Structure 1
Amino acid sequence: MDSVERVPLTYAFDAYCGWCYGFGPVLHEFAAANADRIELRVLSGGLFTGSRALPVSAYPHVPGANERIAQLTGVTFGDGYRAALADGRAVMNSADAATGLVALRGRPGVNALDAAAAMQRAWYVDGRSLSDAEVYRDIAAELGLDADAVAAAYASPAARAEAEADFLEVRRLGVDGYPTLMLHTAQGIDRLGGPVSSADALTRALDQHLAAVTAA
């Protein structure tokens, strides 16, 4: 199938969203299975910004939520992350994380979904702050990118502005929770699945929506 025939999808996520971490493996499987017919962009939603950018200890519901996420999705939370939770001082700043995603996804040949997953592993497995520029240097190396270029992009006002634009776009799309996967067609926007959907269920939903559009 020619690339111009691919249908656009938007994935609204937050690097500090545990449910997005749980949804990640399924979304990767879905994206790989449908790579010939979808064009997926990844936008940051800004879950912890402004007055909500606080130490993780300010959100006492997190450990319980993590248990439920692990139970329902099968993901595991790493020892480094558990140590960060126990320490409680790490600040969850989604604006910094969104800027990091911009710095990574802006490099040539980068799969934004891979970049997002690497960021979530840094936090949810290793317990590393997504406000730390060194994290993005390490992710750049992991993805085969120029670490200096990524670090420079992360520090740039342009990347910060693009991250803010992500937040605005997610709000414009009416997203009220994360993760949210949206299909864009001539008829409008349709949401696909939810945080505990399987990859097969997402593909079936895509098939149904596309069939309905074709029949319209």
Structure 2
Amino acid sequence: MTRENNELIYIWDAYCGWCYGFSSTLGKLHANHPELPLSVWSGGLFTGENAQPIGAFPHIAAANARIGELTGAEFGAAYDELLEKGDAVMDSEAAAAGFAALRAQAPERSAELASAMQRAFYQDGKSLSEPDTYREIAAQFGLDAETAVTFMNAPGTAASVRNEFIRVSRLGVQGYPTLLLRKGDSLYQLGGGSTTLDALEERLAGVLG
């Protein structure tokens, strides 16, 4: 069976702890299937009235413990300090703009760039609204840091990000992370969150036949 028209689509949010936990599994699946292009779209978890200080979400600490238990993800001391202080604002629109700026230079490395952003937040406690965070990530990947920051702050980027959020909502995605397979004109949900690599492989094989 030809796989020329097949594509993996990963729906994530930079401030989603379950996405952070899932990133390693996604990386392994993608490495196993280089024949499948992988697109990464931002969903917009903390936008509008939900873009609030992390302390406004008291469930996060317990959720992180569960994420670590099920996925093996580790949360850094700098992040734990940020969580304890509780005043860092999680703004998914700003983070999605930063991701779009990095992705524009290296779309084929989108999943790696997403993981790097989440490491910056969940391990190093860095804001995903700050240009310097993207300068550092760009440098790690050999990208042009100032081009990334200019793109992030460009007038059209915010509108483009909001359109991406709308495109994701039209897919009917109910939560993050969600990994989809586009096969021809059809979309199939493969999993996300605590879904194991073996389970993803089984579902993928089932859809592709």
Give structure 1 regions of 4+ aligned residues with deviation exceeding 3 angstroms: none
Task: Please give the residue correspondences for 1:23-172 in structure 2 after superposition, counting only pairs within 5 Å.
Answer: 23-36=22-35, 38-108=36-106, 110-172=108-170
C-alpha spacing 1:165/1:64, structure 2 compared with 1 (3 Å): same
Task: Please give the residue correspondences for 1:170-209 in structure 2 after superposition, counting only pairs within 5 Å.
Answer: 170-186=168-184, 188-209=186-207
TM-score (norm 1): 0.92
Identity of aligned residues (%): 45
Question: What secondary structure sits across from 1:184 in the alignment?
Answer: strand
Alignment RMSD, CA only?
1.6
1:88-132 per-position Cα deviation (integer Å, ceiling 9, x unaligned) = 110000000000110000004651001100110011001111000
Mapped to 1, the partners of 2:100 and 2:126 lie a distance apart of: 18
Give structure 2 stretches of 5+ with no counterpart.
none
1:52-98 per-position Cα deviation (integer Å, ceiling 9, x unaligned) = 00000000000000000000100100011001001111000000000
Partner residue, 1:10: 9
Q: Which amino acid aligns with 2:147?
A: A
Question: What secondary structure sits across from 1:181 in the alignment?
Answer: strand
Return the offset for 1:187: 5.5
TM-score (norm 2): 0.95
Question: What secondary structure sits across from 2:9 in the alignment?
Answer: strand
Which range is displaced more, 179-188 or 161-170? 179-188
Return the offset for 1:179: 0.5
Mapped to 2, the partners of 1:161 and 1:107 lie a distance apart of: 19
Q: Which amino acid aligns with 1:169?
A: R
1:4-26 per-position Cα deviation (integer Å, ceiling 9, x unaligned) = 71511211100000000000000
Mapped to 2, the partners of 1:25 and 1:199 lie a distance apart of: 9
Question: What secondary structure sits across from 2:70 in the alignment?
Answer: helix
Q: Which amino acid aligns with 1:24?
A: S
Mapped to 1, the partners of 2:5 and 2:197 lie a distance apart of: 18
Judge conservation of contact 1:16–1:94 (CA < 8 Å) in 2.
Answer: yes
Give structure 1 stretches of 5+ with no counterpart.
212-216
